[in-house]
Each structure stands twice: as structure tokens, then as C-alpha cells.
Structure 1
Amino acid sequence: MHREDRDLAFMLQYHNVAWYEDGKVRILDRRIYPAQKSFEICESHKEVAKAVADMVTQSAGPFLAAGMGMALAAYEARNMAREAKLRFLDEAADTISSARPTTAKRMRLIVDGCLEAARSSIDLDEKLDQVIFEHTIKVTNERYARVGLVAKNLVDMFPDKGTVMTQCFGETIVGMMLREAKVRGKNIKLFVPETRPYFQGARLTASVAYDQGFDVTVITDNMPAFVMERKGVDVFTSAADAICMDGYVVNKIGTFQIAIVAKYMGVPYFVTGVPDRGHETIKTVTIEERDPDFVLQAMGVRTAMEGVKGFYPSFDATPPHLVSGVVTDKGIFSPYDLYRYFGDSDKAELVL
């Protein structure tokens, strides 16, 4: 099979994101990468859901993990009768898709596709775990290919020797945009905010950029304004956990404030992804609040006195007037005109 993860960094290879084999799912533990290359081994779909909830994998990692988790659920149900097996898979789909509330609608698209593949094959003498596994690889290949189209449109916005600031870890688009920039000979430099409290920028985005041969500098989360002013940043870009139809962009906490700075400095902000028909307005999005103790430490070392409180909203919402364009596989759209992306179709798009 032609694989779209070719020439990408270690952690973007399918088998290093999440992989089903022999009744188990292994997931790269991004909480400790790159200091350690360790894999969480899941022996049930509930363990996969817990790994997603516990941030073992994040960004687009949960979408591949969800499909692999559904393959594992099929393995768990291998000795059940047909109807019991279908019920088990339905319940597994609910468990996996609801692991994290902010991305629940997107995860539902993934697990529903796995259910459809299972239902179309359940009367045949086939191993359902392999049916779902192969479906997941096929869908992931298609997703990476579509992200490749997004990358082409995004890299159009990069000067030949430009400086780009990112936010958090945009998963596939990071690798694809760098691969595309290299193909075009665009010698870009990256400034990467660290993205506390999980440090996804420092650990993940910077690692991917370095692995793929680019000049990358990590900065702390309170440096974007200074860096934009002094280092000549040409473009600010991020992926999104949700792009609402009213133009609001939901992404890792801190995106909003960098977008404000970018607007003030005259730096365009391009968000990558597909508009979410499941989120007609920002009001339908649940902003996940995680364990506040995480902001009282840095990589396991406590930084605040005992008794001091923390607050940890995982995401924020950037309003459309701060967004220069929504970069998709079909082109770049105004945040005020996202329905045009779908044309006459009412069908929900598979997540990028």
C-alpha cells in the first residue's frame, strides 16, 4: 500500500502514532516524548479511551487511536454472537468518541466509519478486527493526503525565506507543510512557543521540525509579541480542535492571545482544517478544563507553593476578526464565509 506518511518525522509515522496488532493497541506516549520513546500498551478499548483522556496522545493522534481502538473492540468481541457483537461495538464507539469532550463530534465521525465497515462485513467469514484496522489505515491515508493539499495552500502563504510561528502541535499539517516547503525549496525558519503545561510545542512540534531538517527555535509562551516584533515573523499558523461555522477557532489555550498579537503586529494568522458542520456557533463547543495541578508544575517538577491554586482550561476561542484565512484542502476561505466550503452538500466532512 502507498503510504502518505512517507518522509515524515518519527512521531508522524502511523505505527508510531497508534497501531493495532495481535489484540493490543500501542500508542506513543507523547507526554514524555522526545525525552523517552515509550509506548502505552492497551489491551481493551476502554484503555485506549483512557489513554486519549489522559493525553497519552493528542492533536490528531486520537483520531488514529480511535480507529485502532475500534479494531481492538472487535477483537474483544470476537467470540460473541452477531447482535451482541454489534451492541458491544456500539458501546465501544460511545466510550472512545467521548474520551475528550472538545473533540467528541470529530471522534464520532471516526468511530461511525468503523461501525459502518464492521456492519458491512459482519455477515462474512472475516476477522472484524482486521476489517476495521484496514479501514482505519485507508481513512488515515486519505486524511494525510487531504492534509497534503492543505499544506500546499498554506505554503503558498510562506515567503521563500520566511519565518513562521506555530502554536501547540498541529500534528499532520506540521509535517506536511514542512515536507511541502522542502519540495519547493522554501528555506523557512520556525519559532515555536513551548505550549505549557504539556509543552507540546517544545517537545512535539520542535521535534518534528528538527527531524525534517528545519531551523527551529523554542520560545516560552510569554515571548510571542517580542519575537514577532524583533525576529520578523511573516506568518502565524495553527491547526484547530474545532473551526465553528461562525468563524470562531477553538484551539490550544494561548492561540487567542497570539492571534491578538499577530493582528496588532500586522502578521497574518492562517488556521488549518475543515469547518465543523457539527458546530454551527461557538456556543456548541465545550471548553475542556483539565486538572489544575498541571499548571502548578513543569514536567513533573512543582513550581508553586503548596496551597496555591491552579486553573487549566485546555482551549480558547479565537474570534473571526483575528483570523486572516481558514486554509483547507479546497483553498483558503474567509472565516465569515465557511459555508461556501461545503457548496451544496450537507454531508459532514471527515476530520483532517
Structure 2
Amino acid sequence: MKNKLKIAFYGSSLVSAYWNGAATYYRGIIKELSRLGHDITFYEPDAYERQQHRDIPDPEWATVVVYDNNEESAFKVLAEAAKADVVVKASGVGVFDELLEEQVLKLRKENQLIIFWDVDAPATLERMTLNPEDPFRNLVPQYDMILTYGGGQPVIDAYATFGAKRCIPIYNALDPETHFSVPEEEKFKCDLAFLGNRLPDREARVEEFFLKAAAQLPEQTFKIGGSGWGDKQMPTNVEYIGHVYTKDHNAFNCTPKAVLNISRDSMAKMGFSPATRVFEAAGAGACIITDYWLGIDFFFEPGKEILVAGSGDEVAQILSQLSVEEAKAIGEAAQKRVLEHHTYAHRAQEADQLFQAHFQFTNTSAV
């Protein structure tokens, strides 16, 4: 018999994508887990002005608890985990991460499933590798399982070296109710668009794959969205449009001739880590040009469903030869692929099977 589970989820934010790239991943997975009958409470701190930049109201499919950005409030919400069957600590909450990671293990109740859900596994693994004193190294073997946003076998193997009992990638995907084709909007019209916050391990690749390509194609138009790029020097044919709210993502993705995916350094090195925006853009029927990373063909067929570039020069070459008709055909093929194989309903089923198998094994062992 299938268990209907109470899940306590400690993450960065479910209601705001502001400085929070994992928001749509959380929303997609949690909404579909709710549809499978589970009762989810999402605990998020009032930090980084996320609550002032909400882009969805509290959803029907999860209870959202916003706690004050102090240690006392963090302990209060940790105490509520006692009521849960499954306790999830996600990476990158942004405040009190070490406390949360330690305390969900210290406060565990009998028969609870305790999960670390890593939405930036390459960065976590690199951090632990470089710092032998990293406190998370001692906690990894204590979690019942590590779920990751991506990374494939390289991430599984790397977590195993730190003593993880189990590490399973639950890849990001498409929520077809949120990301889909919409009419074009004039403010997003251009030849190539890129959306991503300015982060230290992304900036050099943005310079290479986006700004360098723009400089080589002065007759074409480029737009960049996301937080933090305001003081960045860019070619004159690049327009910075600031933070793009999730309600505008569909138009941002399907209006330009093509959109660019640029992996962060750590994600590109590890491979098998498609950004959430790849699936979102595909869901909107966008023609995607991506930087190369190992495992692309696990998700899309290069040349038919996605275009792959190894450098800024190659981005410029692709763009200079890409017709509107070709771009449209590639976008339609990508959209078909994600709807058939890469939705959050698919991913939630994978997570649910792991949960059910754990409790079935636990119950059987107790007999």
C-alpha cells in the first residue's frame, strides 16, 4: 500500500525566484508530489529581499512558512519537523545552512526519512574537496539519501567518496502549466537572449559565450536579463533588461530568434547538469543554443532539438547562419521532447518511488 507522507522541506524560497535560481525546480517537484497525495510544508527564511520580490502567492499545493532571519526562529521551524515522515534539507538556503544541516539529523525521530537535496552538487562537492574541515563532510553519511538536481554518475561517484549511503539525481524539468508558448512581446525581441544572475563562477563564461559573440555580430541584437549585470561593460548591441520575473519568462524565451544557455563553471565541469531554464525555454518552444557539457544528448538531440557551441566564436557562427525558420523547427522539436520525457510529473514519480521503497524496506525490517 502506498504511503501518503508528511514532508517538511527546508529550502531557500518557494514563492520568490529573486536571487533564487532553484525556485522553479522546487515548485515543479513539490506541486507534483502534492498531486501524488503527499502533504508538504516548505520552510523558508525572510532573507535577501525575496519576500519583497515574490512572484507567486502561497500555493494551494504546499504550506509555506516564512521564518525570521535569526537563529531562534530557525530552531522553532526545525522543531516542527517532528510531525513529518520525510525531512528535506535543501542546499543553498542562504542563512543558517550549517545549523539546519546538522539539526535535522540531531532532531530526527524514529522512522523518519532524512534527505539532503543538493540543488548545486558540483559546488558542494568542490567546497568539501577543497576544505577538509568543512563540517558537512561529517554529516553526509548520516543522511538516508542525497538527492541532487543533476550531475549524473560523476556526482554519484563523488558523493560516494564522502560516504553517502545513496546519491540519486532527480533532474530538473518542465512544468507545462507554467512554461509554454505565448505570443511574442516587443520588449524581448532580439537575435539572442540570455537570462541568468551575475555569479562569480558564471561571469567568465558569459563573457566568452555571450558578450564575445555579440561583439563579433554588431549587426545583430542581444538582450541579457538577470540580477547584477547593471555595471558590466558590454558591447553597444547588448541591452541589459534587469531582473526578469517568472511571469515574463515565457515571452522572454519564445520571442527572440534564439536563447542562450550558459552553464556555471562547476556545472559544466561535472556534466549532466542542465539548467532549469533549458527545460523552461524548451517548454516555450525556444530555439536553444547551449555551451557544451557532458551529457547533453541524454536530454536533447544536438542539431535537431538543441544547438551546441564550444566557444563564443561558435555561438557567433551558429547565430550568423541560423534562419528564423530553422530556429522555429528546433524549438518545436525541443518542446515535443520535454513534454514526452522531461516534465516534473516524471521527476516526482522518481522521487516518490524512492520514498515508498525506503518506507517499505523500513517497515519490512521492523517486522
**TM-score category, normalised to shorter length:** 0.3 to 0.5
Return the TM-score normalized by structure 2.
Answer: 0.33
Return the TM-score normalized by structure 1.
Answer: 0.34
